[in-house]
Structure 1
Amino acid sequence: MQKPLFLTLAAVLLAGAVQAQITVGPRLGGNLATVKLETDQADAPDTKSLFGPQVGLTLNAQFGNLSVQPSLLYSRKGFQLDDSRNVDFDFDGDGDDEAYSLKTTAKARLGYLELPINLVYSTGGAEGGFQVFAGPYVGMGLGGSYNVKARIEGDGLEYSDSNSSGVKYADKASDDEDDDNLYVRRFDVGLNAGIGYKTGPVQAQLGYGLGLSNLVPNDADGNDTGEKAQNRAFHLSLSYFFSLNN
């Protein structure tokens, strides 16, 4: 009983694949990305968005008004953290602390090899028209950069400094106190949804990516830090499709 059912399902899927209109083409766009940050700190820094490129290939398998669109992309995400607070320091060494203003800006740019698979509904079928789409994605971290700038002002003193380092993908942070790299978990899983428009071979889409994975690794001892950071990104893309059907 199970074997005939399996063969029937396989035959239906194969027939659908044969009847589908297959197109593929380059995809170019950008992300306006940040993170949703959850921490126990009462004075947690503010998060802001950074722009990053998105480039790759998209395949479109059209079945009437519905299509499946898997893509293979290089997608750069990231975030900016701005922190401002008052601190007490004894810079002149006289034993008395003075009040200073400390402003810090950190920018993290995270590169991903990303595979989104979207189910797309087009009002005009293969010809295009207005679209709505949704689907999951999985991303693998491929590198990045981390920059921190700090400025101290007060009591006639103005001092600024900056530091640039890299991004390392790991499940656990480093125990090296001299390691200035930003540690982030390598894999990210989430959901995409949005709208678009397709006319002929040209497709434009505007979407939102909701990351579900926690990017914050465990501490150097392997313990959960209790903090959470998840990718969030608006993305705008333009694709041009070429037919693969004879």
Structure 2
Amino acid sequence: MKKVLLVIPFMMAGSLAMAQSTPADDMGVGFGIKGGWNSANMSIKTDGTVDDKNALSSFNVGGYFDFPIAPVFSLQAGVMFTGKGAKFTSGDKNGENWVETKTNPLYLEIPVYAVGKIPLAPRTNIFFGAGPYGAMGVAGKTKTSGQLLGVSFSDEHNIKFGNDDPTNGNNGSSNSGDVKRFDWGLNFMAGVEINSITLNANYGLGLANIAPGSSNNDNDKYKNRVFSLSVGFLFR
């Protein structure tokens, strides 16, 4: 994971160098900002299936650079502040005994996209993109609430990020933390660019097992899945 995070800045620098040395379209290098809504979830089974009932609403906000390589192709790289996680419920919430846990870690994410564009009119494009991301958990909360024998209870605490090492967690204790700090995977996006306004839909496919004290070889895997919608502005 550390190697992935070290490689990504070099990819961004390489993208900038390529954009400067390759003939681009007349719109030039752009800087964009965007933000919106996330529907976060987790795959918690070995076959990668996701239970829609576990979806948790969160948000995304950040900025990026768009480096045109050709009139219909560009590279994008930036930094996003984004919420992930899921909620898990056991028991019937209409009954006397149930427990619900909401885990909402917040990450600084560095995405890199290869973007294809289909021109519809001057300064109007439909675009599609895909590429890798690396993310580091920086904050978040876990809230547990429920009812046992008719008595309600609730508890909330800041998320504790576990270590990537399956044998050593925070403070040297084994398996400590709610989720691992580092996440990585692939992003897929589509949208429309109208003048300087962008409308984006994005799907983040987490490939890292973020269950603390585990590895990608374990049978039980917790992997982030995030669908997001965002609105932004692209300045050139």
TM-score for both structures, normalised by structure 1: 0.73
Cα shift readout 1:16-50 (whole Å, capped 9, x = no counterpart): 177782010221112110111127xxxxx985111
The answer to whether residue 175 in structure 2 is matched with residue 169 in structure 1 is: no
CA distance in 2, matches of 1:151, 1:210: 34
Counterpart selection for 1:120 from 112, 115, 120:
115
> C-alpha displacement at 1:182, in angstroms?
4.8
> In structure 2, what is the equivalent of residue 92 of structure 1?
none
> In structure 2, what is the equivalent of residue 69 of structure 1?
76
CA distance in 2, matches of 1:17, 1:31: 36
The answer to whether residue 234 in structure 2 is matched with residue 241 in structure 1 is: yes
Taking the TM superposition and a 5 Å limit, the aligned residue runs for 1:88-103 are 102-103=97-98
Query: Retained in 2: the 8 A contact 1:78–1:108?
Result: yes
Q: Which amino acid aligns with 1:53?
A: F
> In structure 2, what is the equivalent of residue 218 of structure 1?
213
Cα shift readout 1:131-154 (whole Å, capped 9, x = no counterpart): 11111111100011011112123x
> C-alpha displacement at 1:185, in angstroms?
0.8
CA distance in 2, matches of 1:64, 1:46: 39
> In structure 2, what is the equivalent of residue 94 of structure 1?
none
For structure 1, the residue ranges without an aligned partner over 5 or more in a row are: 1-10, 40-44, 86-99
Q: Larger Rg: 1 or 2? A: 1
Cα shift readout 1:60-101 (whole Å, capped 9, x = no counterpart): 11221011111211111111001118xxxxxxxxxxxxxx95
> In structure 1, what is the equivalent of residue 152 of structure 2?
160
> In structure 2, what is the equivalent of residue 7 of structure 1?
none
The structure 1 segments of at least 4 consecutive aligned residues displaced by more than 2 Å after TM superposition are: 11-15, 17-20, 125-128, 172-177, 224-227
Q: Which amino acid aligns with 2:142?
A: Y
Counterpart selection for 2:126 from 104, 122, 130:
130
Taking the TM superposition and a 5 Å limit, the aligned residue runs for 1:5-44 are 14-16=20-22, 21-38=28-45
What is the root-mean-square deviation in Å for CA atoms of aligned residues? 3.1
CA distance in 2, matches of 1:48, 1:195: 24
> C-alpha displacement at 1:242, in angstroms?
1.6
For structure 2, the residue ranges without an aligned partner over 5 or more in a row are: 1-16
Q: Which amino acid aligns with 2:124?
A: G
TM-score for both structures, normalised by structure 2: 0.76
